[in-house]
Amino acid sequence: MLKNYFKIAFRNLIKNKVYSFINISGLAVGMAATIMIGLWVTDELNFNNHFKDKGSIAQVFQSQTMNANVNTSPAVPRPLEFALRQDHTDNFKHIVMSSWEQPRYLKFGETNIYITGNAMQEGATAMLDLDIISGVKDGLKEKNSIMLSESAAKSLFGNETALGKIVKVNNEDDLIVSSVYKDIPTNNSFSDMEYIIPWKHYVTTQPWLELSKDAWGNNSFQLFVQINENTTMDVVTSKISDVKKNASSETAQFNPQLFLLPMKDWYLRSEFENGVQSGGRIENVWLFGIIGLFILLLACINFVNLSTARSEKRATEVGIRKSIGSQRSQLIFQFLSESFLIVFLSFIVALGLVLLFLNGFNNLASKAIVFPWENLQFWLISLAFVIITAFLAGSYPAIYLSSFNPVAVLKGTFKSGRYSSLPRKILVVAQFTVSVALIIGTLVVMNQIQFSKDRPVGYDKEGLIQIPVMSNEFIGKKDVMRNQFIASGGALEMTGTSGPMTNVWSNRSGYTWDGKPADFQEDLAYTSVSYEFVETLGLKVTAGRGFSREFASDSNAVLLNETAVKYMGLIDPIGKFIRDSDTEDPSPPLKIVGVVEDMIIQSPYSPVKQAMYVFDSEDNTAFYNVRLNPEKSTSENLALIEGVFKKNFPNTPFDYQFVDEEYGAKFESEERVASLARVFTVLAIFISCLGLFGLASFVAEQRTKEIGVRKVLGASISQLWLLLSKDFITLVVIALLIASPLAYYIMGQWLQKFSYRTTVSWDVFAIACFGALIITLIIVSFQAIKAATSNPVKALRTE
């Protein structure tokens, strides 16, 4: 029986090539898009799956309340570790303090590499279950040791054994390689961690680290834990939430609440709004999951529409089969098996498309997805996917076709009812509603990105590079380097800063100033900067002046941005002082010498944070910011600067970043969403148009005789074109009317998450509507004009 069904299905496919092509190509494109989205979603959901203890590993976060705003951050103070070890150790299998991921220079012989890694406590290797290739299991036990990833060891030692070799780190410390671990695969936290140095080594390298031991207010560290098997994240959270609050009266005013963020949430649900977990990347997973489903539905709609539209052609067969004893259920099964065959063929084509475009998709989505040939689960899900799609596409046609009355069909009196095309019309409207809504959505996302890109950044980011100088060998060399850079002709100016110009590395509180409200809890972005800060960055000074070598008192001076002036409630701020609120051992007061225009340092979508730029009298320089010479080419400038750098630091590799590129990276996530949305919108439009083309050609074919008669009676081509086109245009106009308010509402909601946002403007709707109508007209007119210009005699003879 099944063989018979497939035979008929196959012969129908061959016989009706155009319809088969529309059905299979539409379904294949839809399925390919859904498979790719499925692979992407799986990849996102599998983040951190490398860690076998994913379920019990967590990071300690804290929420602090400042001026009624709750800020949540993974940065915690160092004494927290001691408190947890002392009072709560029975909850944890591992407690691991860690630095932030930091790049360091590693040198062996003549080989010099610049790689990122962390300083971590001993439990790290067991907690992360690092796969040790050589050396001891816990390579962080000895203070002067270093653990290297396999690829780091390879770049440093080539094929030689790494174990026991002495590596010079940041040109300061000699550390012995204690073990080599297998690289942590991408799509996991710590995948960039190419080295680990022992925590006990790290905390003795700089004086401030030593001081941090008792400083509950110094939130400069990360704390990872693995909880015991007999407890849960929530239970542990409830036990530790007030540890900091109870331990330090100084920070209690901010009501610090500690909690565990499970490893499974690090990647997908790491955003917090007012202290409450509010999502993160999981929103994109949902977004694209839904888009994938919609695209598949669009393709299924084509199948439904074309199958039911052509029902009269299948009616006789239904009548015959019924008359010789077929039950309705058998006919339903037959039509379902036909849709299964078509869906299966489409799936094969879809797999081909996925293989063909997977690389491009990976580039677009910044992924490294590999086609899961050997994954049984993938094939089982694919089978289910084919069956579900076959049901989705085939159910309605099967029920509809099998319902025909054999008597009417066999007597030749069968005609589709007056309203039989209504479901098709509704489905076409649904298709175009989705397509137009996607067009509008994509345009709004693109507009928002452009709007934020056009936002003035407050400084001149073009022709500016930053050179990381975080090791001690650079201390005291700033002025020498500046002079030499300028003298080389490769630079116009240079300034040193304690953080990059594209991020805030430090936030401070604990200040007081004249007129500060009593309960005000300040939170200021803090960067220490050197002379020529204003000149190098091209900042606009709106009051006062920048730092100057002519004023010796500038060693205790500060610049504020405009937001900080407003935030602190300062009127006429120049000459006023910001004082340390610590009364026992206060730092010298800082004199406000200038106010600069706001610079966007953090998110281009958020308001600029209140910031203070304090003159760096202790040389805490982390970056040299160098303004390149505009009279020379970039490569010439870089060669000159590198020459100077190499002359002064021959053992340190020259590393630099373009500030405008670093700034551009802030748009990466949204741009990725936009480019994926663009691709899927194009696919949705393609599938919808394919369906429209099929229906238009069906209608033209069905009305061949009518067109012939009308032509004989004198109808012009334009009248016939209008006759055939107007129904479809009406459907698309209805879709536009539904899609526009829907997209307006959804995109309005989406924009709410950006403080700095564009509006959903009328031109977006105009473009989407105009585009949809033009496409419809082209597709429908093609068929209409073809029918209208055909020979009427031929048309009438078709009877």
Partner 1 sequence: MIQIKDLEKFYKTEEVQTIALNKLSFDVKEGEFVAIMGPSGCGKSTLLNILGLLDDPDGGSFMFNGTEVAGYNERKRSELRKHNIGFVFQSFNLIDELTVFENVELPLIYTGVKPAERKKQVEAVLEKMQIMHRRNHFPQQLSGGQQQRVAVARAVVNKPKLILADEPTGNLDSTNGNEVMDLLIDLNEAGTTIIMVTHSEHDAKYSHRIIRMLDGQKVTENILA
Contact residues toward partner 1 (CB under 8 A) are: 1, 4, 7-8, 11-12, 15, 316-317, 319-328, 330, 406-407, 410-412
Minimal CA–CA distance to 612: which of 566, 558, 661? 558
Which one, 241 or 330, has the nearer CB to partner 1? 330
Say how far apart CA 278 and CA 273 lie, in whole Å. 6
Can you tell me which residue has the tokens 């290797």? 125
Give 12 or 189: the residue with its C-beta nearer to partner 1.
Answer: 12
Rounded CA gap, 629 and 626, in Å?
9
**Minimum CB distance to partner 1, residue 797 (Å):** 18
Q: Please, are residues 628 and 492 in contact by the beta-carbon 8 Å criterion?
A: yes
Q: Find the shortest distance in angstroms from Cβ 296 to partner 1.
A: 29
Helices and strands (H and E) in the chain: how many: 27, 27
DSSP designation for 213: G
Q: CA 148, CA 135: separation in Å to the nearest integer?
A: 10
DSSP state of 609: P
Residue 644 near residue 490 (C-beta atoms within 8 A): yes
Measured from the CB atom, the residue of 5 and 108 that comes closer to partner 1 is: 5
Give 15 or 794: the residue with its C-beta nearer to partner 1: 15
Nearest-angstrom CA–CA distance, 436 and 442: 10
Nearer to partner 1, 330 or 704 (CB): 330
Could you give the 3-state DSSP secondary structure of residue 73? strand
What torsion, rounded to 10 degrees, do the Cα atoms 295, 296, 299, 300 define?
-140
Minimal distance in Å, beta carbon 331 to partner 1? 10
Q: How far is the CB of 5 from partner 1 (least distance, A)?
A: 10
Report the C-alpha gap between 623 and 127 in whole angstroms: 34
> Strands 611-615, 271-273: parallel, antiparallel or unpaired by DSSP?
unpaired
Q: Return the SS3 of 512.
A: strand
List residues bridging with 279 in a β-sheet.
271
- Who contacts 403 (Cβ-Cβ below 8 Å, separation ≥6)? 328
Count Cβ atoms below 10 Å from residue 303 Cβ, excluding itself: 29
4 vs 633, beta carbon nearer partner 1: 4
The distance of closest approach from Cβ of residue 401 to partner 1 in the complex, given in angstroms and rounded to an integer, is 14
For partner 1, which is the closer residue by CB, 14 or 376? Answer: 14
H or E stretch covering 792 = helix 792-797
If you count them, how many residues does the chain have?
799
Closer residue to partner 1 (CB): 328 or 477: 328
Q: Which is nearer to partner 1, 366 or 798 (CB)?
A: 798
Query: In this complex, which beta carbon is closest to partner 1, that of residue 38 or of residue 397?
Result: 397
Nearer to partner 1, 12 or 497 (CB): 12
Tokens coding 520: 């005000």
Contact of 13 with 342, CB cutoff 8 Å:
yes
Q: Between 192 and 701, whose beta carbon lies closer to partner 1?
A: 701
**DSSP bridge partners of 658:** 465
Question: Which is nearer to partner 1, 41 or 410 (by Cβ)?
Answer: 410
End-to-end Cα separation, the chain, in angstroms: 35
How far is it, in rounded angstroms, from Cα 322 to Cα 319?
5
Please report how close the Cβ of residue 270 comes to partner 1 at its closest, in angstroms: 58
Q: Looking at residue 546, what DSSP letter applies?
A: -
Tokens matching residue 639: 């060669």
CB nearer to partner 1: pick between 314 and 576:
314
Minimum distance from CB of 14 to partner 1 (Å)? Answer: 9
Choice between 4 and 542, CB closer to partner 1 = 4
Buried b (16+ CB within 10 A) or exposed e, 325-336: ebeeeebbbbbb
CA distance 285 to 508: 35
Side-chain-side CA neighbours of residue 513 (13 Å): 23
Task: Report, in Å, the least distance between residue 407 CB and partner 1.
Answer: 5
Nearer to partner 1 (CB atom), residue 368 or residue 407: 407
Closest distance to partner 1 from the beta carbon of 17 (Å): 14
Closest CA to 273 of 67, 66, 448, 63: 63
Half-sphere exposure of 647 (CA within 13 A, CB side): 12
Nearest to 557 by CA among 511, 615, 596, 512: 615
Task: Read off the tokens for 576.
Answer: 């006023």
Output the smallest distance, CB 3 to partner 1, in A. 9
CB of 704 to partner 1, least distance (A): 20
Question: d(Cα 708, Cα 792) in Å, to the nearest integer?
Answer: 4
Q: What is the closest distance, in whole angstroms, from the C-beta atom of residue 32 to partner 1 in the complex? A: 29
- Kindly state the smallest distance separating residue 342's Cβ from partner 1, in Å: 15
Evaluate whether 602 touches 504 at the Cβ level (below 8 Å): yes
- Provide CB contacts within 8 A for 536, sequence distance 6+: 464, 493, 494, 495, 625, 626, 627
* Residue among 323 and 363 whose Cβ is closer to partner 1: 323
Task: State in angstroms the smallest separation of the CB of 409 from partner 1.
Answer: 9
CB 16 to partner 1: min, Å: 10
Please list, in sequence order, all residues whose beta carbon lies within 8 angstroms of the beta carbon of residue 43, skipping any fewer than 6 positions away. Answer: 187, 367, 369
CB of 404 vs partner 1, minimal distance in Å: 12
Host H or E run for residue 300? helix 282-309
Least distance to partner 1 from the beta carbon of 445, Å?
Answer: 48
